[in-house]
Amino acid sequence: MSPTIPAHAEPASLKALYQELHALAAQGRDQPYDLAIAGRIEALVGHHLAELKAKLVQQESQKLLEFVATIADLGKRIPIGDFEDEAFLGAFGHAWGSHLDRHLRHPVERGYFARTLADMAGRCKESAGVLARLRRQRQELAYQIAEQEAALGGAGFKQRRELLNALVALKSQQGEAERGIALEEMSALEILLPPGVDYAALTADPPPLAFVPEKFHASAVAALFAWPDAPPYEEVRPLNSMAEPFAPEPVPDPVPVEEIALDGVAEAPPEPHEEAWYRTLFTEEETPSAPAPEAEPVPAAVSAEAQAVVPPPPAEPVPEPESAPPAYAEDCETAVQRFIAAYRDKSPDLGVAIENVAFHWIDRGYVNVAYTTLKSAQFSHLPIPSLLVPDLFKAAYFGMHVWSREDEALATSQRLLNFLSPPLIDELCARRPGGPAVPYLLFVASFQPALFGGSHTQAPALVEYAGHGFGEGFRQRLEQLLRLFGSDGSLGLEVLRKLPAGDERSARAQLSARLADWHVRILDKQNGWGPVRAALGNCLARNEFDRAIKAIQAPDSNDVEGVAAFAAKYRDRKAIGALMEAQVASVLSSPEPLPTEERNAKSWFILNMLDLCGIANDWLAEQRLRRGADPAGGGLIGGVLNPLAALREEIERSVTPAAPFEQRVAARLAAQAIGKVRLAIEDVQSSVVWSAKQTNAWLSLPYDMMEAVGFSGDAEGELVWLVDRIGSVPPA
C-alpha cells in the first residue's frame, strides 16, 4: 500500500509539484538510504499521476478538436453553405476524427498539422477566387433578369418577344452559373475532406467520437503540441463577416482572390537537424571539393579607399542554351532512376520524371495510382514548373466506371469533365513529352459517360473532340455509336444485356411475352388491399397506358413517341406514388390515406409500374437498335457490339510502334476501355462492372496501403513512397 500524503502537504499547483519532486530528488542524492524520501516520491507520483494523465488526454483531445474546427473554419471562410449545417459539421468532424485517430498511431512529422492546413488553405484560396467570380456573375445576371422582367410589363407585342428571348438567354446563363457554383463548392469540399474520404461516404448521424490518445505515436503527440493553439489567420476578417453583426445581411461584393483570408496559414519551420526520412533517400555523399584558390595580394600602391571605389569589371553573361525536356523512358527502372536524379538535384526535369512514372503506373494497370502520384506531386513543395493535370487522370479513372445515368461515378465524371475546356486540352496536347497521350486519356474519360449518361453532360462533345486526331474511320464509328445510344441515356447496360442474341423478330416475341406475363400478374392477383389492385387495373384504361401497351404488342408498330413519353413520365417513384394515390381516391370516391397495415400494397403497385416501364425502355432500345442495325449482322445486339469492335481497331491503328511511349500506353488504355464495354454487354458474369463502393475504394487504395504499412508523411513523402513501390507491384 502506497504511503499517503497529508492534506496540508499536497502541492497547490503543477509547478509546486515539480518543485517538490526536484527537491526530494536532491535530498535522495545526499541521503540515498533514506526510505522516507522514496516513500514521499512514490506517494506524490501515485496521488497525482492519474490526474495528470487525464489532463493530458483531455488536452490532446481538445487540440484535435481545435484542429478539425480550424479546417471547418476554412470552409466557412470560402464560404460553403454546408459548413453552416450542424448535421454536416457532425459528419465532417466524425470523418476527420476517425482519420486522425488512425493516422496518429503511426510516426508523423513535427510540422504535420501546420503543413496540412497550409496545403488546404492554398487550394481553398483558389476555389474561393473561382466562387467569388461565379457568384458575382450570378448577382449581375439576377439584376439583369429583374430589369428585363420589369420592362416586360409595359412592352409592346413586338418588343415583348425580344425581351422574352433575352430573358430566356439570361436565365440559361444564370443556370450555368448556379451549376458552376455547385460544382466548385463540391470541389472545395473534397479539398477539406480527409484523404480517401468522399462526400458520399460521410456518415449521417454519426456516433460520438472518442479519441484514444494513449495509442498515439510519440511523434504524433509532439507534432500535435507543436501546432499553435490558435489558427495563424485568426485575426483576418472572414469573407462573410459584417461590421454590424445584427444588421440585415446584404449581398456582399465578391472579394478578389488576393484579399481572401486564407493565405495566413504558415508552414511550420523545419526543426534543426530533423529531416523527413525521404528527403535523404537519394542524397549522395558529398565529395570533398578542391580548396578555393587564394586571393591575389593587392599591390601596396593601391589604397583601401581606391579598392572600395573602383568596381570590378562586369562579368560577361553567358547564355545557356535551352534544351528540350527528355522523352519519357520506356523502361520502368530507367524512369525511376531519372526521378531519383531529378529529385536529388531538384532538376527542372523533375516534373517530366514524375509524369514518366505515372505513365508506367498506367502501363501496369493502375490508373488510380498514376492519379495519386501526380496529385501528390502537385500538392508538394517541390520546384515543379509544370505538370500534366491530375484531374485528367482522375476523370479517366471514373469514366471507365460509368454504366448508366444513375451511377454515382457519372456525377463525379461530369464534375471533372466540366473543367476540361478545349483551350486547356489544346494546351496539354501541345506539351512534349506527354501531349500525345492527352487525346486518348480524354477519350477514356468521356467515352462511357457519353454512351450511358446522355447529352445532359458535355461528355459527347469532349469524346468527339478527342477523336479528331484518330482518323475519319474512327469518327464515323463513334458518331454511329453516339446516335445509337441517343441523348437520353436510356440505353443502359442492363437494357443491353436483356436483348436477345437473335434477330428483331425474336426480340419482339420476347417483349410481347414479358408484357403478357405482366398482364396476367396484374389482373389475376387476388390477395392484397383491394383498392390498390383495382387502381392499377383501372390504369390500363388510361390513354397513355393504352397507347404504350398497344405499341409494344403490335408487331409492326413504331410509335416511339408514345412509349417514350410513358417511360419518361413514370420513371420516378414519386410520379408513380402520385398516380396510385389519385387512382385509389377514385376507387374509394374519397382521398383516404393508405392504411398503415397496407404499405405492402403500395410497394406492389410501384414495383409493377417499374416493371412496365422497364418493358417500355427495352422496347425503345429495340426500336433504336433496329433503326441502326449493322449490315454485318449479329442481330440487334450486333448493332452495338460490331461498332465497338471496329472502334477498338481504329484506336489500335492510330498508333505505330515508333510512337512515343506515353501515346502507346494511353492508346492501350483506350482500347481496353472499349473492350470492357463490349465484355460487360456480352458477359453478365464479368467482373468489369464495379459498384460505387468498389470504385471509391480502389481510388483510395494508395492511401490505405500507406496507412497499412505505417507510413506517414506529407505530399512529397507520398510521392517518393509511390515511386519507390512501382518496381515491386505486379501488373493489375
Q: What is the pLDDT of residues 429-466, one digit of tens each?
A: 998 899 999 999 999 999 999 998 877 678 888 998 89
State the pLDDT at residue 450.
Answer: 92
Query: Are the beta carbons of 370 and 701 closer than 8 angstroms?
Result: no
Query: Are the beta carbons of 195 and 700 closer than 8 angstroms?
Result: yes
> Does 12 share its domain with 29?
yes
> Does 687 share its domain with 720?
no
State the pLDDT at residue 323.
Answer: 64
Residue at which a domain ends, from 598, 633, 668:
633
DSSP string over 347-401: -TTHHHHHHHHHHHHHHTT-HHHHHHHHHHHHHS-S--S----HHHHHHHHHHTT
Q: What is the pLDDT of residues 71-109, one digit of tens each?
A: 988 888 888 888 888 888 888 888 888 888 888 888 888
3-state secondary structure 648-675: HHHHHHCCCCCCCHHHHHHHHHHHHHHH
Q: At residue 268, does pLDDT exceed 80? A: no
Residue 538 included in any domain: yes
State the pLDDT at residue 371.
Answer: 96
User: What gap in Å lies between CA 39 and CA 41, rounded to an integer?
Assistant: 5
Query: Are the beta carbons of 276 and 107 closer than 8 angstroms?
Result: no
> Which whole number is the average pLDDT over 546-560?
82
Percentage of residues in the chain having pLDDT higher than 90: 19
Q: CB neighbours of 492 closer than 8 A, spacing ≥ 6?
A: 403, 404, 405, 452
Q: At residue 570, does pLDDT exceed 80? A: yes
Residue 379 included in any domain: yes
Query: Are the beta carbons of 682 and 638 closer than 8 angstroms?
Result: no
Residue 382 included in any domain: yes
Of the two residues 174 and 576, the one the predictor is more confident about is 576
Q: What is the pLDDT of residues 303-335, one digit of tens each?
A: 444 343 444 444 444 444 456 778 999 999 999
Query: Are the beta carbons of 538 and 586 closer than 8 angstroms?
Result: yes
Query: Are the beta carbons of 447 and 463 closer than 8 angstroms?
Result: yes
Q: What one-letter code names the amino acid at 532? A: V
> Which whole number is the average pLDDT over 562-571?
86
Q: At residue 665, does pLDDT exceed 50? A: yes
Residue 309 included in any domain: no
> Does 680 share its domain with 539?
no
Confidence of residue 400 (pLDDT cuts 50, 70, 90): very high
DSSP string over 273-340: T---GGGGTTPPPPPPPPPPPPPPPPPTTS-HHHHHHSPPPPPPP-PPPP-PPPPPPSSHHHHHHHHH
Q: At residue 644, does pLDDT exceed 50? A: yes
- Most confident by average pLDDT, 32-36, 110-114, 292-296: 110-114
User: What gap in Å lies between CA 375 and CA 388, rounded to an integer?
Assistant: 10
- Most confident by average pLDDT, 22-26, 140-144, 681-685, 718-722: 718-722
State the pLDDT at residue 86.
Answer: 83
Residue 245 included in any domain: no
Q: At residue 375, does pLDDT exceed 60? A: yes
Of the two residues 621 and 56, the one the predictor is more confident about is 621
DSSP string over 170-189: HHHHHHHHHHHHHHHHHHHH
State the pLDDT at residue 209.
Answer: 67
> Does 425 share its domain with 548?
no
Q: What is the pLDDT of residues 499-510, one digit of tens each?
A: 665 556 666 777
State the pLDDT at residue 356.
Answer: 96
> Does 8 share its domain with 139?
yes
Q: At residue 51, does pLDDT exceed 70? A: no
Residue at which a domain ends, from 585, 601, 633:
633
> Does 351 share its domain with 476?
no
Confidence of residue 337 (pLDDT cuts 50, 70, 90): very high
CA distances, 214 to each of 35, 52, 219, 273, 438 (Å): 32, 13, 13, 28, 49
User: What gap in Å lies between CA 125 and CA 465, rounded to an integer?
Assistant: 32
Q: At residue 616, does pLDDT exceed 60? A: yes
Confidence of residue 695 (pLDDT cuts 50, 70, 90): very high
Find the range with the poorest average confidence among 12-21, 59-68, 232-241, 721-730. Answer: 232-241
> Does 617 share its domain with 653?
no
Q: Which domain holds residue 536?
A: 503-633
State the pLDDT at residue 592.
Answer: 60
Residue 233 included in any domain: yes
Q: Which burial class, exposed, middle or buried, applies to 553 when counting CB atoms under 10 A from its CB (0-12, 13-18, 19+)?
A: middle
Q: Give the cell for residue 125.
A: 484560396
Confidence of residue 574 (pLDDT cuts 50, 70, 90): confident
Name the 3-class secondary structure at 709.
Answer: coil
> Does 8 share its domain with 122?
yes
Helix axes 438-453, 472-485, angle to 10 degrees: 20
How many residues belong to the chain?
732
> Does 686 share its domain with 716?
no
> Phi then psi for 99, rounded to 5 degrees?
-65, -45
Torsion, Cα 576 579 583 589, to 10 degrees, reads: 130
Question: Which pTM was predicted?
Answer: 0.56
CA 595 to chain centre: 44
Q: Give the cell for residue 544.
A: 397513355
Residue 304 included in any domain: no
Please confirm whether the linkage preceding 297 is cis (ω < 30° from 0): no
Find the range with the poorest average confidence among 176-190, 192-206, 288-302. Answer: 288-302
Q: Could you tell me where the DSSP H helices lie in 153-244?
A: 157-192, 218-226
Find the range with the poorest average confidence among 240-244, 406-410, 438-442. Answer: 240-244
Q: At residue 245, does pLDDT exceed 70? A: no
Residue at which a domain ends, from 249, 267, 285:
267
Quick one: which H or E segment has residue 626?
A: helix 599-627
Q: At residue 117, does pLDDT exceed 90? A: no
State the pLDDT at residue 636.
Answer: 58
State the pLDDT at residue 443.
Answer: 96
User: What gap in Å lies between CA 626 and CA 645, rounded to an integer?
Assistant: 19
> Which whole number is the average pLDDT over 343-365?
94
Confidence of residue 521 (pLDDT cuts 50, 70, 90): confident
Please report the sign of the dihedral spanned by the C-alpha atoms of residue 223, residue 224, residue 228, residue 232. Answer: positive
Q: Of 238, 239, 226, give the one whose Cα is nearest residue 266.
A: 226
Residue that is written with C-alpha cell 439583369 in the block: 144
> Does 434 share its domain with 547?
no
- Most confident by average pLDDT, 155-164, 246-255, 406-415, 664-673: 664-673
Confidence of residue 596 (pLDDT cuts 50, 70, 90): low
Q: Average per-residue pLDDT in the chain?
A: 77
Q: At residue 278, does pLDDT exceed 50? A: no
> Which whole number is the average pLDDT over 478-497?
78
> Does 2 share its domain with 89?
yes
How many domains are contained in the chain?
4
Confidence of residue 50 (pLDDT cuts 50, 70, 90): low
Percentage of residues in the chain having pLDDT higher than 70: 75
Residue 400 included in any domain: yes
Torsion, Cα 256 261 263 264, to 10 degrees, reads: 150
3-state secondary structure 387-411: CCCHHHHHHHHHHCCCCCCCCHHHH
Eight-class DSSP state of 437: G
> Does 606 share its domain with 690?
no
